[in-house]
Amino acid sequence: MLQLGQIDRADDKPPYRQIAGMLREAINSGQLTAGERVPSEAALSEHFGVARMTVRQAVQELRSEGLVVSEHGRGVFVRPAPPIRRLASDRFARRHRAEGKAAFTVEAEKSGYTPQVDNIAVTRETPNSAVAERLRLSEGDEVVVRSRRYLADGRPVETAVSYIPAAFARDTKIEQVDTGPGGIYARLEEAGHTLARFTEEVGARMPTPEERRVLQLAAGVPVLTVVRTAFDTDDVAVEVCDTVKAAPAYLLEYGFSAR
Partner DNA sequence: AAGTGGTCTAGACCACTTT
Partner DNA sequence: AAGTGGTCTAGACCACTTG
The correct pick among 31, 40, 64, 126 for binding its own copies (CB under 8 A) is 64
75 scored as a contact of its own copies (CB under 8 A): no
Judged by CB, which is closer to its own copies: 140, or 209?
209
How many chain residues touch its own copies (CB under 8 A)?
A: 42
Decide: helix, strand or coil at residue 44. helix
Nearest CB to DNA, comparing residues 59 and 186: 59
Residues 23-62 close enough to bind its own copies by CB under 8 A: 53, 60
Contact partner, 71, from DNA, its own copies, none, Cβ < 5-8 Å per class: DNA
Site string for its own copies, 90-129 (x = CB under 8 A): x-xxx-----------------------------------
Q: How far is the CB of 40 from DNA (least distance, A)?
A: 3
Nearer to its own copies, 14 or 120 (CB): 14
Q: What is the DSSP letter of 3?
A: -
Torsion of CA 112, 118, 122, 128, to 10 degrees: -80
Using DSSP's 3-state secondary structure scheme, residue 34 falls into coil
Q: Are 24 and 9 in contact (CB under 8 A)?
A: no
For the bound state, the minimum distance from the C-beta of residue 55 to DNA, rounded and expressed in Å, comes to 8
Report d(CA 32, CA 18) in Å as an integer. Answer: 17
Report the site for its own copies in 156-195 (rule: CB under 8 A). 195
- Cβ burial of 203 (10 Å; 0-12, 13-18, 19+) is exposed
15 binds, among its own copies, DNA, none (CB under 5 to 8 A by kind): DNA
Look up residue 128 and give its DSSP letter.
Answer: P
CB 19 within 8 A of CB 8: no
Q: Which residues contact 225 (CB under 8 A, 6 or more apart)?
A: 202, 203, 204, 205, 242, 243, 244, 245
* Residue 200 binds which of DNA, its own copies, none (CB < 5-8 A, kind-dependent): its own copies
Q: Which does 248 bind (CB under 5 to 8 A by kind): its own copies, DNA, none?
A: its own copies
Q: Which is nearer to DNA, 14 or 192 (CB)?
A: 14
Residue 26 CA to residue 33 CA, distance in Å, equals 9
| Near its own copies by CB under 8 A: residue from 177, 199, 213, 234 | 199
Helix (H) or strand (E) holding 15: helix 15-28
209-238: which residues touch its own copies (CB under 8 A)? 219-224, 230
CB atoms inside a 10 Å sphere around CB 191 = 16
Decide: is 251 part of the binding site for its own copies (CB under 8 A): yes
- Residues of this chain that interact with its own copies (CB under 8 A) are 53, 60, 64-66, 86, 89-90, 92-94, 195-206, 219-224, 230, 247-248, 250-259
